[in-house]
Structure 1
Amino acid sequence: MTAFQTLSLAMFKGFVRDKATLFFTFVFPLLFLVIFGLILRDVGADKTKIALVGDGPIVAALKDSGAFEFESYTDESAAVQKVKDGDLPAALVVRGQQVDVRYAQSDQVKSATVLGIVNGVVDKANLAATGQPPHFTFGAEKVEDASLKPIQYLTPGILSWGIAVSAVFGSALTLVSWRRKQVLRRIQLAPVSATSVLSSRLMVSAGVALVQGAIFVGVASLPLFGLQLSGQWWLAIPLLLLGTVAFFALGMLVGSFAKTEEAASAAANIVVLPMAFLSGTFFPVDQAPAWLQAVSKAFPLRHMNDGMLDVLVRGKGVEALLLPASILVGFTLVVALVASRIFKWEE
C-alpha cells in the first residue's frame, strides 16, 4: 500500500475507535437539530382561539374562513371572564343580527387581528344583504415568499457548524497528539511526505463531512420535522467539501501552536463557538445591529451558512455558490499559509 493509503486507513481506524470523537462529531450537533426542531416545529402554525357565544351566518362564515379556533360557551359572562382572565384574546357574542366582540386591551396584536377579520366578514354579509353590486373590487392571491420554516433554516446552519467543529477539532487534536507522541517525528524520518500526511487526514475529514451531511438531511427530512429540499440540493456537496477544507486549515493553525490536547480543545472552542452564534447558525442575524452583521460577514461560517441555505432549501442555482466558495477558498489559502509558517514536527 502507498503511504497515502496506509495513513488514511490508520486515521480512519483511529477515528471510528474513538467513541468520544464519534459522539461529538455526529450525535452532539444532531442533538441541537432534534431539540430545536422539536421546539420550533409548530411555530406559527396555531390558530387564534377565541370564545364564542351564539350561532348564525356570521359564525358559519368565520368557521369557513378557518381563521379561528372557537371555544363555545352558552353564558356570555363566562366567555367574557375568560378574556378578563387573560386566557383568550377575545370573545365573539352573536345575538340574532347583533355581533359583538369583547377583546383584551393588553393583547393588541391578536385583538386587532380578531377585530379586522370579524369586521370584514360582517361588512361582506351586510353588502350581500342589500343585493347591490360592490362598488369596489378586491383581489388577493398567494405569493411565494422567502420566509422559511424553522427546520428549513436550522438544518443548513447546524450542519455547517457540525462540519466546522469536526474539521477543526479533528485536525487540531490529531496534530497535537501526534506531535506529543513523537508520531510526527517518526513520519518525518520515514520516506513519507508532509503532503501525504495532510491529504490523508483531509480525506478522512471530507468523508466524515459527507456522512454528517447525509445523516443530518435524513433526520431532518423525517415527517416529524418535515425538511423539504430544493431541486438543486446536490450543489451543497461542493460547498460542504470546501467548508471542510477551510476549517481543516483552521484546525491545523490551532494545532500548530497548541502544546497540549487540552489547549488545542480550548483554543478551538474559543474560535468555533462564538463564530457559530455570530454567523446565524441557531438564529438569523438579519435583524441584528448593523455593526454585528458586518462583523459576522468576516467569518467563513457565515458565508458557508448562507450558501448552504441558498442551495439546500431556497432553490438557488450555481450562482449562489460563487461568493461563499470564493471566500472559503481565500480563507483556506491564507490560513494554510500561516499554519505552514509556524508548523513544527516536534516540541
Structure 2
Amino acid sequence: MSAYSALTAAGFRAQIRDLTTVFFTFAFPLIFLVVFGLIFRGQAVEESGYSYLSYTAAGVLSWGVANAAVFGTGFTLMQWRADDILRMIRMSPAPLSAVIGSRYVLALGVGLVQSVLFVGVAMLPGFDLTPSSRWPLLIPVMILGITSFLLLGVVIGSIADTPESVAGIANFLMLPMAFLSGSFFPLDAMPEWLQRISLVLPLRYLNDAVSAALTGRGELSDIGMGCLGLVVFAVVFGALAARTFRWTKKS
C-alpha cells in the first residue's frame, strides 16, 4: 500500500469513528436550510424577483461545503502535528503531497455527500427547489471550491497549535464571510459598498457559481467568473500553505 493510500484509509477510519463530528458536518447545513425555508417560504427578493430559497439554498450549500473543508483540514493537521504524527510521516518516505492529497480526497468525498444530501432535501415538498438544466456544472464548481477552502484549512492548521485556536481562526474567517458573501442574505438586497467588499472573499465566487449552476440564477458567465475567482484564491492559499506548513511545532 502506498503512503497516499495508507494516509487516506487512516483518515477515513478516523473520520467515521467520530460520529458526533460526522453528524454535525452533514446536519448543520440542513438545519440552516430548514430554518430559512420555513422563515422565507413563498417570499421573493424584490430586487430580482427570485425566491429567497434560490439564494439561501445555494448559499448555505456553498458555506457548508467550504466550512467542512476548512475545519476538517485545519483540525486534522493541527492534531497530527500535536501528536507528532506529522513528524513520523516526515521521517518516512511519504511526501507532503501524500499528506495533503489524502485530506483532499476525503474533503471531496464529504463535499459530494453533503451536496447530494442537501439538494435532495431541498427538492422535497415544502422547499420545492428545482435544479436548473445546468446542474452538472455544479461538479467542477464544487471541486474548485473544496480545493480553495481546503488550502485555507491547511494555512489555519499550520499556524494554529490548539483546537481552540483552530476554531477561533476558522470561525473568525468563515462566519463573517458567510454573511458578507451572500450565503445567508441575498447580496442584491445589501448596500453597494458591501457588495464591493464581497468581491475580495472566496465564498462570494463559490456562492455565485453554485447559484448559477444549481438554481439558474445568473448566466453561464457567472459560473466562469466564479470558477476563475476560486482558481485565483486556490493559488493564493496554496502559496500561503507552502510557506506556513509545519511538520512539528517548531518547524
Same fold flag (TM > 0.5): yes
What's the CA shift string for 1:236-260, capped at 9, x where partnerless? 1110111001000111111111111
SS at match of 2:79: helix
- What is the distance in 1 between the residues matched to 2:42 and 2:222? 29
- What is the distance in 1 between the residues matched to 2:164 and 2:196? 32
Q: Which runs of 4+ in 1 moved over 6 A?
A: none
**Residue 177 of structure 2 corresponds to residue 177 of structure 1:** no
- What is the distance in 1 between the residues matched to 2:114 and 2:39? 22
**Residue 51 of structure 2 corresponds to residue 149 of structure 1:** yes
1:335 to 234, 237, 244: 237
Structure having the larger proportion of residues in strand:
1
- What is the distance in 1 between the residues matched to 2:20 and 2:149? 20
**How far has the Cα of 1:146 moved from its partner?**
5.3
1:323 counterpart letter in structure 2: M
SS at match of 1:286: helix
**How far has the Cα of 1:318 moved from its partner?**
4.7
- What is the distance in 1 between the residues matched to 2:221 and 2:177? 25
SS at match of 1:223: coil
2:67 to 165, 176, 194: 165
**How far has the Cα of 1:43 moved from its partner?**
3.0
Q: How does 1:98-109 map to 2 (within 5 A)?
A: none
Q: How does 1:299-318 map to 2 (within 5 A)?
A: 299-314=201-216, 318=220
Equivalences, count: 247
- What is the distance in 2 between the residues matched to 1:262 and 1:341? 22
The alpha-carbon distance between structure 1 residues 24 and 264, as it changes in their structure 2 partners (threshold 3 A), is same
Give the match for residue 9 of structure 2. Answer: 9
What's the CA shift string for 1:217-272, capped at 9, x where partnerless? 00000012100110111101110111001000111111111111111111000000
What's the CA shift string for 1:2-39, capped at 9, x where partnerless? 21111111111111111232133111121000111122
SS at match of 1:281: coil
- What is the distance in 2 between the residues matched to 1:315 and 1:255? 35
Structure having the larger proportion of residues in helix:
2
What's the CA shift string for 1:153-209, capped at 9, x where partnerless? 211100000011100001100000000000000100011111011111101001110
**Residue 123 of structure 2 corresponds to residue 221 of structure 1:** yes
Give the match for residue 41 of structure 1. Answer: 41
**Residue 102 of structure 2 corresponds to residue 200 of structure 1:** yes
- What is the distance in 1 between the residues matched to 2:161 and 2:34? 36
Structure 2 unaligned blocks of 5 or more: none
Aligned 8 A contact 1:310 1:320 in 2: yes
Give the match for residue 151 of structure 2. Answer: 249
The alpha-carbon distance between structure 1 residues 220 and 15, as it changes in their structure 2 partners (threshold 3 A), is same
Structure 1 unaligned blocks of 5 or more: 45-144
Aligned 8 A contact 1:7 1:197 in 2: yes
Aligned 8 A contact 1:233 1:315 in 2: no
- What is the distance in 1 between the residues matched to 2:43 and 2:177? 26
- What is the distance in 2 between the residues matched to 1:146 and 1:289? 15
> Computing the radius of gyration over CA atoms, which structure comes out larger, 1 or 2?
1
Q: How does 1:87-98 map to 2 (within 5 A)?
A: none
**How far has the Cα of 1:316 moved from its partner?**
5.8
The alpha-carbon distance between structure 1 residues 42 and 290, as it changes in their structure 2 partners (threshold 3 A), is closer
Q: TM-score, normalised by structure 2?
A: 0.94
What's the CA shift string for 1:277-318, capped at 9, x where partnerless? 000111112232222111111101011101111111117665
2:2 counterpart letter in structure 1: T
- What is the distance in 2 between the residues matched to 1:10 and 1:317? 42
2:201 counterpart letter in structure 1: F
Aligned 8 A contact 2:42 2:51 in 1: no
1:7 counterpart letter in structure 2: L
Give the match for residue 292 of structure 1. Answer: 194
Larger RCO, structure (CA 8 Å, separation 6 or more): 2
**Residue 22 of structure 2 corresponds to residue 22 of structure 1:** yes
What's the CA shift string for 1:111-167, capped at 9, x where partnerless? xxxxxxxxxxxxxxxxxxxxxxxxxxxxxxxxxx95222222211100000011100
2:208 counterpart letter in structure 1: D
RMSD, aligned α-carbons = 1.5
Percent sequence identity is 43
Aligned 8 A contact 1:146 1:314 in 2: no
Aligned 8 A contact 2:54 2:217 in 1: no
2:188 counterpart letter in structure 1: D
- What is the distance in 2 between the residues matched to 1:283 and 1:289? 12
**How far has the Cα of 1:325 moved from its partner?**
0.8
2:234 counterpart letter in structure 1: T
- What is the distance in 1 between the residues matched to 2:143 and 2:239? 19
The alpha-carbon distance between structure 1 residues 27 and 235, as it changes in their structure 2 partners (threshold 3 A), is same
